[in-house]
Amino acid sequence: MNTNNKLKIFNDPIYGFISIPNTLIFDLIAHKYFQRLRRISQMGLSYLVYPGAHHTRFHHALGCLHLMQNAVRILRFKGVEISDIEENGLYIAILLHDIGHGPFSHAMEHSIVEHISHEAISLKFMEALNAEFDGNLETAISMFKGQYSRKFFGQLISGQLDIDRSDYLKRDSFYTGVSEGNINSERLISMMNVVSDELVIEEKGIYSVEKFLMARRLMYWQVYLHKTSLVAEQMIIRVLKRAKELTLMNIKLDASTALSFFMNNPSSHTNFDSNSLNQFSLLDDYDIMSALKSWQFHDDFVLSRLSQMILNRTLLKIKFKNNSIAESKIDDLKQQIMLNYKLSSKEANYFVFDGTVSNLAYDQKQGGLKILYKNGKVKEVISTSDHLSIKVLSKTVTKYYICFPKDIL
């Protein structure tokens, strides 16, 4: 394999220059599976609210690689033993952790590619790459699955204060302009240490942890669960479900080969084979947007109307409530829709629906954040009595919402 000119650098607006540590990482980045992430938006349809939010999963993955290199350097400096094989495993696992995401983030998981999560698809991609790269991803796969013997490797990849969150909060804050998410990820990483093979944060970093958790909470309510982003994603889910429903009724729709494959073939853990994976690797945001541009002129009212509304940003009205929505309220709105648009009850469900969203900044059940004190004792962060805000952040906040067309108000 030609190794010339593979130790390149990427110029990133967040961290400056990001270096590629070795030729294997370079070859993985250059692979078509990874290059697809250039065409997968990091924040779905959030650009309808924040016009600058056009960054991709590719940006995010490279940012995670950079932060993981910093974490390895810091931990080694503090005397934590990390072998070259483990180091490379960490880099590969964090680089590929989101490779299984479909177009517009989570929308595909609830519409076209159902019954299999993006994490499961990421694992299938990693296993396929492992076969292609002569078994060099074994350690990364073990870490990604949380099965590696040393627990802190899994915590760095997916935990309460992991590298993934450390990048996306800062990156999404930058591209949306929402300053509340601008955490000091470098400071957090510099406070990391390992005790008994578990990741801990040194005592002097506890206020940085508190700011991190608060930033996560604020970013979820202001950005990720913003009402306009939420209703846009729900509409994408429903237009894709309608397209799949029509396809299964033998009504022909214009769509790319990859999108047509999943509209015609139900997906699950058991039947998601190498052909499904190959078709999935051809799917990106452009497939969906191209389909919507065609479907807006289709004879089916539900499909065409939803497509038009998404493309032209004339979205459904969404209202948040602190309590569950009364069934009578939903039924009344559906009756108006059925009358105004001459739709069946089933078709009206595409335009009137309710749901819930939850926000939990700190999840104790996922494994608590440990604080290392100067006397050598390790305690969970929530048990530290003078940090009351962290106790508040560990409580789930649930809101209820209802969506309906604006012209039936």
Q: Tens digits of per-residue pLDDT, 68-124?
A: 999 999 999 999 999 999 999 999 999 999 999 999 877 777 778 888 889 999 999
Quickly count: other Cβ atoms within 10 Å of residue 19's Cβ: 12
Q: Determine the pLDDT at residue 387.
A: 55
Nearest of 267, 225, 223 to residue 355 by alpha carbon: 225
Mean pLDDT across the chain: 91
List of the chain residues with pLDDT < 70: 1-5, 364-367, 384-391, 408-409
Structure tokens at 137: 């991803």
Structure tokens at 231: 């209703």
- For the stretch 246-279, pLDDT in tens is 999 999 999 999 999 999 988 877 889 999 999 9
| pTM to 2 decimal places | 0.93
Structure tokens at 271: 């039947």
Quote the CA–CA distance of 299 and 253 in Å, as a whole number: 10
Give the DSSP H/E element, type plus range, for residue 194. strand 192-195
Nearest of 273, 278, 239 to residue 257 by alpha carbon: 278
Q: Determine the pLDDT at residue 385.
A: 46
SS3 217: helix
Ordered structural domains, the chain, with CATH: 9-209 (1.10.3210.10)
Q: What is the DSSP letter of 396?
A: -
SS3 319: strand
Q: Determine the pLDDT at residue 4.
A: 60
CA angle 146, 81, 379 (to 5 degrees): 65
Quote the CA–CA distance of 196 and 317 in Å, as a whole number: 52
Percent helix, strand and coil across the chain, each to the nearest 5? 55, 10, 35
